[in-house]
Structure 1
Amino acid sequence: MPPIPNQHVHTPRIITYYQTHHTPSSEEYPDGKHISILPLLQQPGISLTHVILAAIHINSSPSALTLNDHPPSHPRFTTLWAELRVLQASGIKVLGMLGGAAKGTFSRLDCPQGLSTESFEAYYAPLKNLITQRGLDGLDLDVEEPMSLAGIIHLIDRLKADFGEDFIITLAPVASALLDAKHNLSGFDYQALEVLRGGRIDWYNAQFYCGWGDCSNPVMYEMILLRGWKAEKVVVGLVTNPENGGGYVPWEGLGNVLPLLVGRHARFGGVMGWEYFNSLPGGRERPWEWARCMTGLVRGRRVVNEEEEGGQNGSGGMSETGNGKGTDMVEADADAEAGGGGGKEAPVPDSFEYFSDGATGED
């Protein structure tokens, strides 16, 4: 008889953002060919946990909510919505990503006094309807424009009031924002937000790329934990292809870093990839291979110290990584600057250029 699974064992999340939904237009496909997400379910060796559909935009007219450049009800998304329902039926959670690099969404939802306004209600209503109509499991709040702390708290509280405590709420700060509020795109202090509403935030998809973070070694992640963040709430965000932004870490590097973090922290939060359609190593022809390789890295064998079995972020080392290679842990200085920048301000991420849906680097 096989052993009874331990219900308390934490498994790292494996998350992909799904923003480019169609190939470039061609004579055969004037509107582009749909890029299927189903291989993430159909191909063997993949343990994907979440898909984040990008990007939902609130535009100047309250009724003009868009998914990238088109209304969510546009016929081009018929297959997309059907496939996402299949993923949900198979246990994969589907979230929507709100905001991103295109400005305006969160300024329109901001309530600096923490109280709802007529403007907020007008802009929020179509978003609420979309979540309800499409049965989304949660919302990823990618705030890349100034927003007040009171405003983001008001939005989180409203989402929980409307959809219940099981509705997943995540945020997508640049990784440096978890170390220093000055190295931030969102306007509010994430540590203050965690103190005030951490119980209602499931995790943070921290962007370790585009000059705001570095995952070529474990130092920055360890620095974040030394600041007091819980390992289970910090997901390591990566670009899946150097075409998608700066800071791409080749698989050889990830093979040293990620299994080390998994082994060192029993409640390691997981990894997310921006984005699906051209993910390496398979590229545009086989983008699901990213999730398969990531499954091997973060769901492989790991050895943790006994303290961490209780869910604590101890400092015990790892005796074996997921790829069977021993790796020395690098000591992190909690007071060091993010990414070793010597106190320099981090550069603003460049826009990403995509081939479909009129999208330009939402994450």
Structure 2
Amino acid sequence: MHLRTRRTLALLATTTAAALACLFGPAGAAGAAPATTAAHHVVAYYQTQYSGGGYVSPKPLAGTATDIDVAALHLNGDGSVHLNDDPPSDPKFDQMWSDLAALQSSGTRVEAMLGGAGRGSYANLHNDFDRYYGPLRDTLREHHFDGVDLDIEETFSLADTEHLINQLRADFGAGFTITMAPVASDLSGGSAFSGGFSYRQLEQEVGGSVSWYNAQFYCGWGDLGGTSGYDAILGNGFSASRVVTGAVTNPGTCGGYVEPGTLAGTVRQLVSAHPDFAGVAGWEYFNAVGVDGGGPASWYANLKNAMG
């Protein structure tokens, strides 16, 4: 499971009203699932900023990743916000924020992943929404995130989730990316791990405010050795334009690792069958298995190439 800065004027200038309409669909259409952008998403989860004593820069993802999900924000019981083990303002993150801003200036979106395996954030929001939502909102603004990825791995009701999504959309507007990261079997209706509610019902009720789903096809919750797991999600009422396939990038992360050649083959099959296929995601960036002698970014480039 998931252990998992500034939208510049240049990026704003290239974001047209037509593109926003394509991404989010008609405003106010309750339950209407919006189409995602025509280009396939390539989502890189970025939690490990330091490895082996050295800084892990996201800059090699330029031109490959459409989205970088910085993991993981935690809403602590005392009302503070941490990025992993430290406040986001800690000097250790200064170079990261600078690098992310440079990527944003070239058109890469940067989202904050909230939650994951470090539980408590959603419980706090359930118990006292106003107290814990405010610091989350302020952190997203202060660090100029383009969106947020809701990775719910604790009990959080459908009503709680819809409240959070609706408040984020009200505060940040149509141009803000709101994604979710349920396990794949939750989307196919075979489990209720990621919060404990029906994602099909969520999609019917507030899908117009969810940009897309980064489905976790690993750690026992799905498999990308073929297309059957993805097909099951479509059979549960989801459009291919709404579901990104999430894979682990290293066999040491957990079960469900698929080697790059086989994974690329699965992706090519999905693109062939579904031209509106939403894209791919990889957990996580720092130790992604390189392809053809490349570094971690080559794992993502391999799948981008597979999507054409």
Q: What is the TM-score when the length of structure 1 is the normalising length? A: 0.73
Which residues of structure 2 form unaligned runs of 5+?
Answer: 1-18, 23-36
- Quote the offset at 1:163 in angstroms: 0.7
Q: Secondary structure at the match of 1:235?
A: strand
User: What is the aligned counterpart of 1:68 among 77, 80, 84?
Assistant: 84
Between the two proteins, the alignment pairs up a number of residues equal to: 274
C-alpha distance in 2 between matches for 1:183 and 1:104: 18
Q: Which residue of 2 aligns with 1:209?
A: 218
Deviation per CA, 1:196-232: give whole Å up to 9, x if none: 1000000000000000001101111111112110101
After TM superposition, list the pairs within 5 Å mapping 1:299-314 onto structure 2: 299=308
C-alpha distance in 2 between matches for 1:288 and 1:268: 21
Counterpart code for 2:169: K
User: What is the aligned counterpart of 1:123 among 112, 122, 132?
Assistant: 132
C-alpha distance in 2 between matches for 1:226 and 1:238: 20
User: What is the aligned counterpart of 1:59 among 71, 76, 79?
Assistant: 76
C-alpha distance in 2 between matches for 1:132 and 1:104: 22
After TM superposition, list the pairs within 5 Å mapping 1:146-225 onto structure 2: 146-180=155-189, 182-225=191-234
- Quote the offset at 1:287 in angstroms: 1.1
Q: Which residue of 2 aligns with 1:226?
A: 235
- Quote the offset at 1:253 in angstroms: 1.1
Retained in 2: the 8 A contact 1:10–1:267?
Answer: yes
Retained in 2: the 8 A contact 1:236–1:270?
Answer: yes
Cα RMSD, aligned residues only: 1.8
C-alpha distance in 2 between matches for 1:97 and 1:284: 30
- Quote the offset at 1:108 in angstroms: 0.7
Retained in 2: the 8 A contact 1:169–1:200?
Answer: yes
- Quote the offset at 1:125 in angstroms: 1.4
C-alpha distance in 1 between matches for 2:50 and 2:294: 13
Counterpart code for 1:200: S
- Say whether 1:246 aligns with 2:255: yes
Runs of at least 4 residues off by over 3 Å = 282-285
C-alpha distance in 2 between matches for 1:79 and 1:122: 30
Q: Secondary structure at the match of 1:110?
A: helix
C-alpha distance in 2 between matches for 1:224 and 1:21: 33
Q: Which residue of 2 aligns with 1:36?
A: 57
C-alpha distance in 1 between matches for 2:294 and 2:227: 31
Identical aligned residues as a percent: 43
- Quote the offset at 1:285 in angstroms: 7.9
C-alpha distance in 2 between matches for 1:127 and 1:91: 24
Mark the CA change 1:282 to 1:80 in structure 2 (over 3 Å): closer, same or farther. Answer: farther
Counterpart code for 1:214: D
C-alpha distance in 1 between matches for 2:257 and 2:152: 22
C-alpha distance in 1 between matches for 2:232 and 2:191: 16
Counterpart code for 1:56: L
- Say whether 1:11 aligns with 2:39: yes
Counterpart code for 1:14: V
Retained in 2: the 8 A contact 1:10–1:266?
Answer: no
Retained in 1: the 8 A contact 2:260–2:291?
Answer: no
C-alpha distance in 2 between matches for 1:213 and 1:182: 11
- Quote the offset at 1:255 in angstroms: 2.8
Q: Which residue of 1 aligns with 2:282?
A: 273
Retained in 2: the 8 A contact 1:19–1:275?
Answer: yes
Deviation per CA, 1:113-150: give whole Å up to 9, x if none: xxxxxx21111111111111111000000000010111
Q: Secondary structure at the match of 1:96?
A: strand
Q: Secondary structure at the match of 2:54?
A: coil
Q: What is the TM-score when the length of structure 2 is the normalising length? A: 0.85
C-alpha distance in 1 between matches for 2:234 and 2:292: 33
Q: Which residue of 1 aligns with 2:4?
A: none
Q: Which residue of 1 aligns with 2:144?
A: 135
Retained in 1: the 8 A contact 2:189–2:236?
Answer: no
- Say whether 1:263 aligns with 2:286: no
- Quote the offset at 1:93 in angstroms: 0.4
Q: Which residue of 2 aligns with 1:235?
A: 244
Deviation per CA, 1:318-349: give whole Å up to 9, x if none: xxxxxxxxxxxxxxxxxxxxxxxxxxxxxxxx
